[in-house]
Chains A and B, each alone.
Chain A
Amino acid sequence: MLQFLKKLLGKKTQQDKGGSIPKPEHPFYPVPLELGQKTEMLGQLIGHSDDTIFRRLRLGQTNITVIAVYVDGLVNLGEQNESIFKPLMLFDNENKKKTAAPKQNYELIKNNLISVGEITEHTEMWEAALRVLSGDTVILLEGIEKVLTVKTRDLPQRALEDPKRETAVRGPQVGFTELMRTNMALVRRQLKHPSLRFEVLRGGFYTNTDVAIGYLQGVVNPKIVQEVRQRLQSIMRTDGILESGNIEGLIEDSPHSPFPQIEHTERPDKAVAHLLEGKVIIITDNSPFVLTVPTLFLQFIQASDDYYERYFFGSFIRLVRIPALLIALFLPSVYVALITYHQEMIPFTLILALDVAREGVPFPALVEALLMETVFEFLREAGIRLPMQIGQAVSIVGAIILGQAAIQANLVSPAMVIVVALTGISSFLLPAFNTAIALRVLRFGIILLAATLGLLGILIAAMVIFTHLVSLRSFGVPYMSPLAPLNLSALKDILLRPPLWARDKRPSIFRPQDDRRQEPGLKPRPGS
């Protein structure tokens, strides 16, 4: 026993003690009374890794032993020194060397000595072990069945930056970061109301990632919150949550659908807007992307600065995005179908122009379209993976030189290049990247159908896609609402952007507990 303790305190043990890894529904590890047993248990739970430090010290001049356990590198050493080690070691009371009851010592340390805001008591060792691994310091004392956790974590994090993916012309220019607490703070900063609630869970068997559910109590429908909680149970049983995308994959309704059923955002203001609509947000540690549920398909044509610009412009831009969505999905296939089967449908002068352009192109329209679309995908992927400076070069080489050369070499017709470019631009018009991916993948299938069945093939594809979309649900809410099932008042709010003073109700689709957004009659009346 003593040997073992010595080894522990010498913090030199390399091999694992052979204990099995605690399961997610781990056995209960009650904190033992004796200091030695505590150290042993905590050591086993943490695993004897080289970066864990067991610091043994004395409380002031007394001979009471205190052990501080922490992981090197995750801890803010200066603060730890200032607020734990110094007060404990320099503790100086009148009746020196006199040992008080362990309980009193414990209370003394907890209440008077450690000068840190967040301090937690644990009667269960597993929780304490996880805290140590998150960068906190655990204080072990003899003779009491409790341990103290002091928040000393100083996790490596980058500074707040503007959102990389969702840039906005107008609106807050700060994005979420990798640290859950920072993200929660960013939300809280915009929503200073007691109704904002966070519940923190832990997901991932090995990663033990913190996951926070946030919602507005009294606004959100409690059934949705309950559903989210219940589905998040599954993330505890997987081995790792590296990104909110992992959670998305585990809790969405239809995993086989190409369409994303959960929206993610990098913008705190967007997350807050979702909370105000009666949705639930899921913040994942290590991920700057916050999930919001339930999600509607038409939400993906919305961007947050629609609400910050004048409402005319917001409505207009939304109406523009809908044809863009259709173009991104259907334009190449319509071109292929028209050129291949339905030449009679193209106006005469246009078909003349197209035909002259296609003269000398050796491929049928289908091959041409697939070729160009594939090249476009190559360029896009190359541009994403390369560093910014080289990425620009790739797009210049790809778009200008390759496109121009392909036309001059008569490999593709200029019309096809226009079609593909237009399709690409339209897909960039959609604020949501993950929807654009779905459209890109589906586009290839539709081109093939168009080349075999003509316009009928496109129609069939459209019908199947639409049927699939209306059959989806996101956390109990039909994905295509408010379009189907039709909900006119909510549709107005989604297709257009009504002026703020006219939005008196929250969208009824999410069945909010409190559907009043504001007092009616907020329309500005100057001079009154």
Chain B
Amino acid sequence: MAPVKISSWQATALLATTILSTAVLFPPMLLAQEAGRDAWIAFAIGTAAGLLLALLVAGLSSLYPGMHLLQIGEAALGPFAGKLLGAAYLFFFIIFAAIVVEEFSSFISTAFMPLTPPEFLNIIISLLGFYAAYLGLEVIARVGEAVFLSIVFFLLLFLLLMMPQLDLTLLLPVLEDGLASPLRGSFIFMVWSGQIFLLGMIYPYLARPQQAFKIGAASLLVVGFFLVSGSISLQSLFGHPLVSRLVFPLLSYVRLISIAEFLERLEALLILIWVAGVYVKIAFLFYVTALSMQQVFGLGDHRPLLLPLAALVAVLSIQLFENTGQAMLFLKNPWPVFAAFFSAGGPLLLYLVTFFKTLFKMNSRQY
């Protein structure tokens, strides 16, 4: 069998879909709560921070060609500390996947199917994720590109259809309270833009690894474009305090679209692209989790791990939160710190270790 390789375009689409799928749903409200009218600035800052992280991850990976993040960990920190770091990442990935599953079921049951037991949704999406992850990264990437194209198409459509009703003066005054509140907001968004570190996990499978930074940057720019423009349209449609009170502002936004009194109820399309995007995200996370487990425990094949993993994630996602409100609070407060630790902290640590190691080696060579 040929080694798994995905093209740069596929990697871009996969990463962008992974970030965008959940980012269009929760951050608009969370950031509006923190940053008010300036949420779009917070999105822009968060995206820029993500770009820095992409640079870091791409730089780190290029030092260790053919290795993903956990393999780099073992190479840089030695087997013991490397495994420990890997185990921590494994834990993080499992929690991460469980949170995404929970986000899926809470959204679907709140906005769409209130009578269906959410546990059932958790199980269904976990099984779906298992199926795609079992078929491998190439399949996930192929689904990803198709889903990415439809997400881009429909989001653009939504933005354009609402254009006539926007009132940009609602955005004024810009930076009323200075930069502090957008900065606070951007921390929340960094949870999403920081997910670009997953680039480090698929680095060995890139057909053109030298383009790693371009891939990360392109996917972040797409994400940033949609969130900044989406946040601007939300603000100029609903106005400041309202956005922060809507649970799913984008859903309310799409519900307002009406063309010729015929093209209505487009939220079905939003749900369609959203479910498709989350499906890709969960499949990708399952794949990455199984990959880390394989690395940490030194196993030969990751595929047998997937089904138990899916079961674990499904159960965990049911147990994690009592309700959507609690999930939102968690996403706002401890989760950004927790996620930042892994998405930015890990690569930074590895980069510094590598840096000092080479420095030390060069020095010792001189004497």
User: Taking beta carbons and an 8 Å cutoff, which residues of A are in contact with B?
Assistant: 341-342, 344-345, 347, 453-456, 459-460, 463-464, 466-467, 470-471, 478, 480, 483-486
B135–A455 contact, CB under 8 A? no
User: Any chain A CB within 8 A of the CB of B34?
Assistant: no
For this complex, into which size category does the number of interface residues on chain B fall? 20 to 34
Complex partner residue of A485 from B124, B131, B142, B275, CB under 8 angstroms: B142
Minimum CB–CB distance for A347 against chain B, Å? 7
Given contact pairs A456-B113, A459-B276, A467-B131, A347 touches B264 in the complex (Cβ within 8 A):
yes
Q: What residues of chain B lie closer than 8 Å to A454, measured between beta carbons?
A: 113
Q: What residues of chain A lie closer than 8 Å to B149, measured between beta carbons?
A: 486
B279–A345 contact, CB under 8 A? no
A-B contact pairs, 10 of them (CB 8 A): A342-B268, A456-B113, A456-B121, A459-B276, A460-B128, A463-B275, A466-B143, A466-B146, A471-B142, A480-B142
Please provide the chain B residues from 111 to 165 with a CB less than 8 Å away from any CB of chain A in the complex. Answer: 112-113, 116, 121, 124, 128, 131-132, 135-136, 139, 141-143, 145-146, 149
Q: What residues of chain B lie closer than 8 Å to A467, measured between beta carbons?
A: 131-132, 135, 139, 143
- The distance in angstroms between the C-alpha atoms of A229 and B118, with both chains bound, is 52
B128–A463 contact, CB under 8 A? yes
Q: What residues of chain A lie closer than 8 Å to B10, measured between beta carbons?
A: 485-486
B124–A470 contact, CB under 8 A? no
- The distance in angstroms between the C-alpha atoms of A200 and B10, with both chains bound, is 41
Q: What residues of chain B lie closer than 8 Å to A484, measured between beta carbons?
A: 142-143, 145-146
User: Taking beta carbons and an 8 Å cutoff, which residues of B are in contact with A?
Assistant: 7, 9-10, 108, 112-113, 116, 121, 124, 128, 131-132, 135-136, 139, 141-143, 145-146, 149, 262, 264-265, 268, 271-272, 275-276, 279
User: Mostly helix, strand, loop or mixed at chain A's interface?
Assistant: helix
Q: What residues of chain A lie closer than 8 Å to B262, measured between beta carbons?
A: 347
Q: What residues of chain A lie closer than 8 Å to B265, measured between beta carbons?
A: 344-345
Complex partner residue of A455 from B142, B271, B276, B279, CB under 8 angstroms: B271
Q: What residues of chain B lie closer than 8 Å to A486, measured between beta carbons?
A: 9-10, 145, 149
Given contact pairs A456-B113, A464-B131, A478 touches B124 in the complex (Cβ within 8 A):
no
Q: What residues of chain A lie closer than 8 Å to B132, measured between beta carbons?
A: 467
- The distance in angstroms between the C-alpha atoms of A45 and B289, with both chains bound, is 62
User: Mostly helix, strand, loop or mixed at chain B's interface?
Assistant: helix
A485–B143 contact, CB under 8 A? no
B128–A455 contact, CB under 8 A? no
A459–B143 contact, CB under 8 A? no
Q: What residues of chain A lie closer than 8 Å to B136, measured between beta carbons?
A: 471
Q: A341, A342, A453, A484 — which one has the most chain B CB atoms within 10 A of its CB?
A: A484
| Given A345-B268, A467-B139, A485-B7, 15 other A-B residues pairs in contact with their CB atoms under 8 A | A454-B113, A455-B112, A455-B268, A456-B116, A456-B121, A456-B271, A460-B128, A463-B128, A463-B275, A464-B128, A464-B131, A466-B146, A483-B146, A484-B145, A484-B146
Q: What residues of chain A lie closer than 8 Å to B279, measured between beta carbons?
A: 463
Q: What residues of chain B lie closer than 8 Å to A466, measured between beta carbons?
A: 143, 146
3 A-B pairs with least C-beta separation:
A484-B142, A470-B142, A471-B135
- The distance in angstroms between the C-alpha atoms of A463 and B272, with both chains bound, is 10
A478–B108 contact, CB under 8 A? no
Minimum CB–CB distance for B142 against chain A, Å? 4
- The distance in angstroms between the C-alpha atoms of A402 and B318, with both chains bound, is 50
A456–B146 contact, CB under 8 A? no
- The distance in angstroms between the C-alpha atoms of A459 and B141, with both chains bound, is 19
- The distance in angstroms between the C-alpha atoms of A345 and B263, with both chains bound, is 11
B113–A470 contact, CB under 8 A? no
Complex partner residue of A456 from B9, B139, B275, CB under 8 angstroms: B275
